[in-house]
Amino acid sequence: MVPVPKRDKKGNVVDVRICVDYTKLNQYVKTEKFMIPSTSEVLSRLPGAKIFSKLDANSWFHQIPLTELSKLLTTFITPFGRFAYSRMQFGITSATEHAQKRLAQLLDDLEGVEVFIDDILIHAPNQDLHDARLGEVLNRLDKAGMTLNKAKCEISKKSIQFVGHIVSENGILPDPEKTKALRDMPRPENIHDVRRFLGIVNQFSKFSPKLSDLSQPIRELLQKDKQWVWNEPQERSFNEIKLECLSGTCLALFDPNLETKVASDASKRGLGACLYQRQQGGEWRLVFCASRSVTSAESNYAPIEREALGVTWACDTFANFLIGMKFKIETDHKPLVSLLGVKDLNQLPPRIQRFRIRLMRYNYDISHIPGKELVVPDALSRAPCGEISMSDNLEGEVQSYANYIISELPVNNSYLPRIQQEQVNDPVCIKLIEYCTDGWPDKPQLSGALKGYYPFRGEITYNNLLLRGPRIIIPSSLRLEVLDFIHEGHQGIVKCRERAKQSVVAGYQLPNR
């Protein structure tokens, strides 16, 4: 169990969310096989509609009661005793599919009503028929005891966003936000930018033979006997390539019944994310892509934290399509596979703990692939075009959580500043802080005590305090002193070692006494 403080826009704690890691339970939970209609099937029923409404359930999971036997399976331990949930909880593998099934069965027989994952769309060719259909839906929801989130409901609109598209009386268009990262990608400014952009072109060229000819003016810039000059032919080629990549020839429609994967990458400049699906012929096709700049605080994250941020932001960006389905996550940062996969939540660094908690509502497998295969996410992360949404308080949320975890570390508040001061004076800790910011060199370049930290480099983070996972890295000048503190309880060798393992790490072992 991990308590997560919820804060308002001013940073004040207004509530506490209890998060439970159900990774072990999910290994034995059977998921329901419920067929969700494909995007093309849903959109095919919308032509002729002119008036639309979209409804959003208010914490839909928590409106579903659990059976007595299921309640016991959600039991978690607190310092005050054992507790169990009486309502459906995020983080359980079968939760989303069951919630979708209940909603679909409740409304499936109504004409002019579409249920896609947890969205309800009501549509009609005129206002009177729309109002009648909306009234019937609301009556059924009321009889079922279901409540709605007023802030997220849209009533009687002429244009509305649904399943990644903008639907209106004028027709159906792809949501421009889902392809903005590629459409607004800035033009290359040097040879490295050209290579990255052409890497994207190569990814799409298997679906569009036109791209080879369209990219010729830009490819000429890579020739050694050519001087770098970006003129009208290159600009025209650049814009035509983007239009072709965003066409129906290259992009696929989302189908919830196809194998799905999310690929993400992060740099000091931004985050890049892509949603792919395996088509009937076996090839992977891009469905949506996105990018955004990182904040100044996020740019100072350790590389492992930025990559975890990238994965979390990617899943949240495509959440409407991912919730309720099993999908894959691909990352080129190998330590993330265990940190966001099988490792216990309380063994993770504070920021990554928060990312993992945020990912609990998804049902995914994460795997490592070489960086050279993440062509599109890598290019998008180095040329981000999206700005950070004011409604997305992810940075503040993560920082608040990290500060909370640090404040709960088993160390006296008056002693913590001394540890922080000694860390920035210790030559080994100084190097570790540098590696957290700029990335780790190869192992042969390390010497002395730094080699002992290399196997755990994916767990070492710095947030005004150097940590390995949730444990403080003790600088050499304080190790014997800290060892004396641990021995003060006279608990015996075994218990002293366990106490040390839970709170501190000095090199890769405590000094012998």
Write the pLDDT tens digit of every residue in 105-120.
899 889 999 887 678 9
The answer on pLDDT for 512 being more than 50 is no
Residue 501, pLDDT above cutoff 70: no
Most confident residue range from 132-136, 163-167, 171-175, 315-319: 132-136
> What is the model's pLDDT at position 210?
80
Higher pLDDT, 3 or 457: 457
Say if residue 82's pLDDT is above 50. yes
Last residue of one domain, picked from the residues 124, 158, 173 = 173
Confidence (pLDDT) at 391? 46
In-domain check, residue 7: no
User: Could you tell me which residues are beta bridge partners of residue 13?
Assistant: 7
The CATH number of residue 293's host domain is: 3.30.420.10
pLDDT band of residue 331 (cuts 50, 70, 90) is very high
Question: Is residue 510, in this structure, part of any structural domain at all?
Answer: no
Q: Which residues contact 440 (CB under 8 A, 6 or more apart)?
A: 303, 454, 457
511 pLDDT more than 60: no
Query: Residue 391 domain-assigned?
Result: yes
Residue 187 has pLDDT above 90, yes or no: no
Indicate which CATH number applies to the domain containing 24: 3.30.70.270
Identify whether residues 219 and 99 lie together within a single domain: no
Contacts of residue 43, defined as CB under 8 A and 6 or more positions apart, other chains included, come to 163, 165, 167, 172
In a domain, 3, yes or no: no
Beta-strand pair 76-78/504-505: unpaired
Do residues 79 and 153 share a domain?
yes
Q: Is the pLDDT of residue 125 over 90?
A: yes
* Listed range (113-117, 195-199, 465-469) with the worst mean pLDDT: 113-117
CB atoms within 10 A of CB 48: 9
Residue 433 has pLDDT above 60, yes or no: yes
Query: Given a cut of 70, is residue 269 above it in pLDDT?
Result: yes
Residue 1 lies in a domain: no
pLDDT of residue 507: 45
* pLDDT at residue number 179: 74
In a domain, 4, yes or no: no
In a domain, residue 254? The reply is no
Whether 171 shows a pLDDT value over 90: the answer reads no
> What is the pLDDT, as a whole number, of residue 142?
93
Residue of 288, 320, 292 whose CA lies nearest to 395:
292
> What are residue 314's phi and psi, to 5 degrees?
-60, -45
pLDDT at 513 over 60: no
Residue 371 has pLDDT above 60, yes or no: yes
Average of per-residue pLDDT values in the chain = 83
**Angle made by CA atoms 127, 129, 130, in degrees to the nearest 5:** 60
Per the model's pLDDT, the better-predicted residue between 430 and 9 turns out to be 430
Predicted pLDDT of residue 3: 66
Q: Are residues 473 and 431 both part of a single domain?
A: yes
pLDDT score of 48 more than 80: yes
CATH number at residue 194: 3.30.70
Number of domains the chain is built from: 4
State residue 510's pLDDT score: 39
Model confidence at 420: pLDDT above 80:
yes
Domain end among 158, 173, 188: 173
Q: 264 or 384: whose pLDDT is higher? A: 264
Q: Are residues 278 and 392 in the same domain?
A: yes
Strands 471-473 and 466-468: antiparallel
Is pLDDT at 289 greater than 90 in this prediction?
Answer: no
Tokens 């598209």 correspond to 165
pLDDT at 385: 78
| pLDDT value for 25 | 87
Mean pLDDT of the 278-287 span: 88
Residues 227 and 315 in one domain: no
**Residues 434 and 383 grouped into a single domain:** no
Same domain, yes or no: 121 and 185: no
Q: Do 426 and 387 reside in the same domain of the chain? A: no
pLDDT at position 54 is 94
The 3-state DSSP class for residue 102 equals: helix
Cβ neighbours of residue 112 under 8 Å, at least 6 residues apart?
49, 122, 123, 124, 129, 130, 133
When pLDDT is cut at 50, 70 and 90, the band that residue 309 belongs to is very high
In the prediction, which pLDDT does 13 show?
A: 66
CA-to-CA dists, residue 331 to 271, 307, 365, 383, 439, angstroms: 12, 8, 11, 19, 16
Task: Show the domain range for 493.
Answer: 410-505
Of residues 458 and 366, which shows the higher confidence score? 366
Q: Which of 131, 146, 173 is the last residue of a domain?
A: 173
pLDDT of residue 393: 67
Range from 51-60, 92-101, 204-213, 260-269 that averages highest in pLDDT: 260-269
On whether residue 13 sits in a domain, the answer given is no
Q: pLDDT at position 77, please?
A: 84
Query: What pLDDT digit, counting tens, does each position of 10-35 carry?
Result: 556 667 777 787 878 888 888 777 76
Per-range mean pLDDT, top range of 51-55, 344-348, 433-437, 438-442? 51-55
Number of other residues whose CB lies within 10 A of the CB of residue 29: 14
Per-residue pLDDT, averaged over 74-84, amounts to 88
Same domain, 355 and 279: yes
Q: What does the pLDDT read at residue 332?
A: 92
Residue range 388-403, pLDDT digits in tens:
654 456 787 788 888 8
Q: Is the pLDDT of residue 6 over 70?
A: no
Do 392 and 442 fall into the same domain? no
Mean pLDDT confidence for 374-381: 89
- Do residues 166 and 214 both lie within one domain? no
Both 36 and 119 in a single domain? yes
Task: Give the mean pLDDT of 491-502.
Answer: 63
Q: Tell me what the mean pLDDT of segment 425-440 comes to.
A: 90
